[in-house]
Amino acid sequence: MRVFIIDLTQVDFDAEPLVMINPEIIEKKGEIIGEEGCLSFPGLYFDVPRAEQVVVEYQDLDGKCKRIRAYGLTARAVQHENDHLDGVLFIDYLSATQRDLFAGRLKKIKVG
């Protein structure tokens, strides 16, 4: 089972936490580069290219199949969290030059 929760209520007061079980991104449109951070790498922020909007199918907590079109920050969060499920981290989007530039900062972060 693949699960993630997106809670954007701290930045969007109209948002509600979104639980996605076995999500599958079935459509991506556009591209936008935006700054991202990750709890796995506290204090680090990088520009990451993402689709501007995505269509994602998933199951909710009641097991009902859902399909949404996500835009903006929600689309970015869905892609970021779905990457985690696939073993991809936001630092994997860095170029070799960027990795060399930030190598010292990355080494200081203890994984565990």
Domain ranges of the chain: 3-108
24 is catalytic: no
CA distance 110 to 38: 14
CA distance 53 to 23: 15
CATH C-level class of 3-108: alpha beta
pLDDT tens figures, 19-58: 999 999 999 999 999 999 999 888 889 999 999 999 999 9
Is pTM beyond 0.85? Reply is yes
- 2-28 mean pLDDT: 94
Residue of 16, 35, 57, 81 marked catalytic: 81
